[in-house]
Amino acid sequence: MKIGVVFPQTEIGPDAGGVRAYTKAVEEMGYTHVLAYDHVIGANLANRPDWRGPYSLETQFHEPFVLFSFMAGMTESLEFVTGIVILPQRQTVLVAKQAAALDVLSDGRFRMGIGIGWNEIEYESLGENFNDRGARSEEQVALMRALWTNDSVNFQGKWHSVPDAGINPLPIQRPIPVWFGGGADAVVRRIARIADGWMPQWQPDEAGVAELEKLHGYAREAGRDPSDIGIDGRVTATLDSEDGWPDAVQAWRDIDAEYIDINTMGQGLSGADAHIERLERFKPAAGL
């Protein structure tokens, strides 16, 4: 099982020096990958008293493709994971091109997690349809995989048309692995049919294992071997749960997760140094 980290998007700040220090420290500590969340634009809450979303105009986000390209240039082994990029609010061919470029420049160290998001304001601002985002994401994945594995593509779908054209250079990984976030039943069925892996929100307790068994059932219905669908879990490294860190890691091992991501966000930490210190503490405390 590979153990990586969640990049503290909203707490690390905009300074390139902090991002650089964090990236180098994570690789030196032996974490295998860094996962980053995605939000392109934030809503101004001044005139939205009923807003219920977790992020707003006040929340800082580095754009993941740009962020990972920056990180790739200063690392040798660290892998990069979008967790998740909100695919249907972005142009599919452009995302395929960006992902291929990142894969090439990182020597194949990229895994693409996708999801459909919740923020209708982002979709409106980016000129995309919020209401068909689930079904459209399936066609997006099919088109991206075609673009990543063929010099030229003739593609005619419901939402996309590519008339005998292709991207160059192609990625090192052909195709780039595509993992899915989310947990609604329609999403789980989609994962069972077309995803390389799942980034679930649950923990590997009794309820989580039931969700995993549901995925496996859907995979069999789709004619797939459930073991072909990887799992990427999450452990939040709060100090008040420190005694339970070894058990939290082991619980993901017990269900054969391929990856886990150590999350240091949401705990009052600010800036790169504070997050680095928590990650330095996590490994020995978790018995790693």
Q: How confident is the model at residue 117 (pLDDT cuts 50, 70, 90)?
A: very high
Q: What is the pLDDT of residue 200?
A: 97
Q: How confident is the model at residue 246 (pLDDT cuts 50, 70, 90)?
A: very high
pLDDT, average across residues 263-286 = 97
Domain count, the chain: 1
Q: What is the pLDDT of residue 96?
A: 98
pLDDT digits (tens, 9 = 90+) for 17-37: 999 999 999 999 999 999 999
Q: What is the pLDDT of residue 95?
A: 98
Q: What is the pLDDT of residue 98?
A: 98
pLDDT, average across residues 40-59 = 94
Judge contact between 152 and 164, C-beta under 8 A: yes
Average pLDDT, the chain: 97
Q: What percent of the chain has pLDDT over 90?
A: 99
26 to each of 20, 205, 239, 252, 266, how far by Cα in Å?
A: 10, 28, 19, 21, 19
Q: What is the pLDDT of residue 61?
A: 97
Judge contact between 171 and 192, C-beta under 8 A: no
Tokens (6 digits) for 240: 């008040």
pLDDT digits (tens, 9 = 90+) for 191-216: 999 999 999 999 999 999 999 999 99
Q: How confident is the model at residue 136 (pLDDT cuts 50, 70, 90)?
A: very high
Q: What is the pLDDT of residue 124?
A: 98
Q: What is the pLDDT of residue 35?
A: 98
Q: How confident is the model at residue 15 (pLDDT cuts 50, 70, 90)?
A: very high
Instruction: Please tell me the distance from the alpha carbon of residue 215 to that of residue 205, in angstroms, as a whole number.
Output: 15
Which residues are bridge partners to 80 per DSSP? 34, 110
**Of 40, 30, 52, residue with least CA distance to 9:** 40
Instruction: Report the CATH number at residue 209.
Output: 3.20.20.30
Domain limits for position 262: 2-285
52 to each of 45, 56, 125, 202, how far by Cα in Å?
A: 10, 10, 18, 21
